[in-house]
């Protein structure tokens, strides 16, 4: 029994050992197969990887070659562009060198010419000095010969010369008397009427826009028919005599007189008034009344000129210049009455000249006469700029050189030679640019004020901005928390510079920056 058990146990153990050995052998065979398969698969992967690597290598090489060719092409383009720029720079340099050489040659030539001229002038000066000595000697010799020939001494000859000068002085005196008589004719009627000027007050100039039409009011529409006349003969006679277009339309109790020349318009208005008042309206009467009215207007022009000169305290003005001053009453410049403008400029010039320590009387004189060229007598005069024409008239009628220069230079048409000229120019600009003085389109005026305020709002810290005094002042309110006192001063300067560079405006614009600090508490 025990042997049987041992045999069984031994058989089991032997079976286990044999099974283990057989399993190991099978496992080894399987492992070798797996290793062989793995090696074959790895070799296949390696071969495939090598093939793909070669393909990738070829692609990369091809891409590198293409990139190299592209970079080479771009590099060649850059090199060509640089070569072209260098060539152009060299050409400009050569041109500059040739230009500089040419200029140097010209300068050298001019220097040589100047030296030659200086030598020539020195030679001429020396020659003239020698000639002067010879002339002096000849003059003395001639005087001695004349004394011998004439039997007169030098003193006796001087006495005869003085006698001849007396006759010339008498002729000059007669010419002066003639000018005085002409001036007396201008003042005769004023003296006869005994018009006395009690006071001369400085007042603000009232501005009135002059138009090209005047309205003649009538009492009833029946007068229109009498003014028109049979088949329009009366109205044709009035238009022919006055040079004014008369418009008779459906406007009740009114007739329109149209003409760019305000003098002719005033003659027509006064003539119509006289004809309607008299009641006799026919061509012969019309011509008579128009002639009388023209003489009346001419006399009124002289009186207006004389009153203007007296009001401004200007003395010794030539009678013809007084007439020109009077005619300015019936002329306008951009809608501004020319006489009112000239009076205002004269007053401004007087004040400014006094402040600068200059002669205010001369300044007033130049200010009054600066626009006399705007009242020409003929069409030929209209072709000349009014500043030059006014200067020519002032020279013709004996005004001082500084006054003539100020008249001619107030629009920079000639060079300014005295301090009086810029004063006239500034005062003319002040009078013309003052609000209400001249016509201005309302939309553009409002837009300019808006643009002025928008400039201020473009800066940081600005709370409010108002353009006041017709755009002459810009008042800016800033936030005290964001803008200090020093920054407020800088802000005022920066805004003024911005306006000066970005905007177009007449005169000056004052920029006022206001910074206010408030402390508010509530008691409950």
Residue 365: closest CA among 344, 378, 350: 350
The string over 263-301, giving b where at least 16 C-beta atoms fall within 10 Å of a residue's C-beta and e elsewhere, is bbbbbbbbbbebbbeeeebeeebbeebbeebbeebeeeb
Q: How far is CA 332 from CA 261, 312, 348, in A?
A: 10, 20, 19
Within 10 Å of residue 404's Cβ, how many Cβ atoms?
22
Q: Measured between alpha carbons, how far is 405 from 393 in angstroms, rounded to an integer? A: 12
Helix (H, G, I), strand (E, B) or coil at 394: helix
Task: Give me the residue label for tokens 């300044």.
Answer: 363
Q: Looking at residue 164, what is its pLDDT?
A: 66
Q: Measured between alpha carbons, how far is 239 from 237 in angstroms, rounded to an integer? A: 6
- Residue 395 pLDDT > 70, yes or no? yes
Residue 271: closest CA among 222, 216, 327, 231: 216
* Chain center to CA of 353: 24
pLDDT classification of 344: cutoffs 50, 70, 90? confident
Options 1.10.3720.10, 3.40.50.720, 3.30.300.30, 3.30.360.10; CATH for 445-516 is: 3.30.300.30
pLDDT top residue among 38 and 215? 38
Q: Measured between alpha carbons, how far is 229 from 276 in angstroms, rounded to an integer? A: 13
The CATH code that applies to domain 215-433 is 1.10.3210
Task: Give me the residue label for tokens 């022919």.
Answer: 240
Q: Measured between alpha carbons, how far is 63 from 250 in angstroms, rounded to an integer? A: 95
Q: How far is CA 193 from CA 188, 189, 316, 364, 497, in A?
A: 9, 6, 22, 28, 58
Q: Measured between alpha carbons, how far is 349 from 427 in angstroms, rounded to an integer? A: 6
Cβ atoms of 292 and 300 within 8 Å: the answer is no
- Residue 198 pLDDT > 50, yes or no? no
Q: Looking at residue 256, what is its pLDDT?
A: 77
Helix (H, G, I), strand (E, B) or coil at 337: strand
Per-residue pLDDT of 297-318, as tens digits, reads 888 888 888 888 888 888 888 8
Mean pLDDT of 106-119: 86
R_g over Cα of the chain: 53
Helix (H, G, I), strand (E, B) or coil at 251: coil
Burial class from Cβ neighbours inside 10 Å (0-12, 13-18, 19+) for residue 386 reads buried
Cβ atoms of 333 and 343 within 8 Å: the answer is no
Residue 286: closest CA among 297, 296, 275: 275
DSSP single-letter state for residue 328: G
Tell me the whole-structure pTM to 2 decimals: 0.42
Segment among 150-154, 310-314, 395-399, 513-517 with least mean pLDDT = 150-154
Please report how many Cα atoms fall inside a 13 Å half-sphere around the Cα of residue 315, on the Cβ side. Answer: 3
- Residue 206 pLDDT > 50, yes or no? no
Write down the domain spans for the chain.
Answer: 215-433, 445-516
């Amino acid at each position: 029994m025990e042997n049987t058990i041992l045999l069984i146990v031994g058989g089991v153990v032997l079976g286990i050992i044999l099974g283990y050995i057989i399993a190991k052998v099978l496992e080894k065979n399987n492992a070798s197969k797996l290793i062989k398969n793995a090696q074959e698969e790895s070799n296949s992967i390696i071969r495939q990887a090598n093939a793909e690597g070669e393909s990738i290598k070829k692609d990369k090489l091809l891409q590198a070659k293409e990139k190299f060719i592209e970079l080479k092409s771009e590099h060649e383009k850059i090199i060509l562009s640089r070569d072209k720029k260098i060539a152009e720079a060299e050409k400009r340099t050569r041109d500059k060198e040739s230009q500089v050489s040419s200029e140097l040659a010209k300068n050298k030539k001019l220097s040589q010419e100047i030296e030659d001229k200086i030598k020539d002038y020195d030679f001429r000066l020396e020659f003239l000095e020698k000639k002067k000595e010879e002339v002096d000697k000849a003059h003395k010799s001639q005087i001695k010969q004349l004394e011998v020939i004439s039997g007169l001494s030098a003193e006796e000859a001087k006495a005869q010369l003085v006698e001849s000068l007396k006759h010339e002085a008498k002729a000059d005196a007669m010419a002066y008397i003639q000018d005085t008589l002409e001036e007396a004719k201008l003042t005769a009627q004023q003296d006869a009427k005994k018009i006395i000027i009690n006071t001369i007050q400085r007042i603000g100039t009232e501005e009135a826009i002059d138009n090209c039409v005047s309205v003649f009011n009538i009492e009833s529409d029946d007068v229109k028919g009498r003014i028109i006349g049979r088949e329009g003969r009366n109205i044709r006679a009035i238009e022919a005599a006055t040079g004014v277009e008369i418009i008779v339309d459906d406007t009740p109790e009114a007739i329109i007189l149209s003409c760019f020349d305000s003098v002719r318009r005033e003659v027509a208005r006064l003539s119509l008034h006289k004809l309607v008042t008299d009641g006799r309206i026919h061509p012969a009467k019309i011509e008579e009344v128009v002639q009388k009215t023209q003489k009346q207007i001419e006399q009124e022009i002289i009186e207006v000129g004389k009153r203007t000169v007296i009001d401004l305290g200007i003395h010794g003005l030539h009678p013809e210049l007084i007439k020109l001053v009077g005619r300015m009453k019936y002329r306008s410049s951009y809608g501004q009455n020319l006489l009112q403008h000239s009076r205002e400029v004269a007053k401004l010039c007087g004040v400014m000249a006094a402040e600068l320590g200059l002669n205010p009387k001369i300044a007033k004189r130049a200010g009054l006469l600066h626009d006399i060229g705007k009242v020409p007598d003929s069409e030929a005069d209209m072709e000349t700029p009014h500043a030059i024409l006014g200067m020519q008239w002032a020279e013709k009628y004996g005004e001082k050189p500084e006054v003539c220069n100020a008249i001619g230079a107030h629009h920079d048409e000639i060079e300014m030679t005295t301090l009086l000229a810029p004063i006239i120019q500034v005062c003319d600009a002040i009078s013309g640019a003052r609000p209400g003085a001249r016509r201005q389109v309302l939309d553009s005026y409002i837009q300019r004020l808006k643009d002025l305020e928008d400039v201020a709002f473009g800066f940081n810290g600005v709370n409010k901005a108002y353009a006041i005094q017709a755009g002459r002042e810009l008042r800016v309110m800033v936030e005290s928390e964001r803008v200090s006192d020093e920054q407020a001063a800088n802000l005022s300067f920066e805004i003024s510079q911005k306006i000066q560079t970005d905007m177009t405006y007449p005169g000056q614009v004052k920029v006022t920056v206001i910074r206010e600090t408030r402390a508010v508490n509530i008691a409950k």
